[in-house]
Amino acid sequence: MTVPPSPQMSSGSARHVLAQNLKRLRAERGWSQEQLAFEAGLHRTFVAHVEREVRNISLDNIERLAKSLGVSPAALLTPSEVG
């Protein structure tokens, strides 16, 4: 039996880029995961799972997070020049 790949994706994956951008943008605003979740109409554990790269997120939820952070959905999926 083969072992499935780890949910942690490579540093170039869209899941990793999304997680890093969410953490950075949330920190820039001084928001907790709970605050971001509230603003986006999502549950805090969902945001935590996305940031830990263990959740496969829908486009609808990417749009909700982007809107709450005041950025475009594309901005959440674009690698940042910063760390």
pLDDT the model gives residue 8:
53
Task: Walk along the chain (83 residues) and give the pLDDT tens digit of each residue.
Answer: 443 444 555 678 999 999 999 999 999 999 999 999 999 999 999 999 999 999 999 999 999 999 999 999 999 999 987 54
Read off the CATH number of the domain in which 61 is found: 1.10.260.40
For the chain, the domain total comes to: 1
A 10 A CB-CB count for 2 gives 4
pLDDT the model gives residue 9:
54
d(CA 33, CA 44): 6
pLDDT the model gives residue 12:
83
Torsion of CA 8, 10, 45, 26, to 10 degrees: 150
pLDDT the model gives residue 5:
44
* Residues of the domain holding 65: 14-76
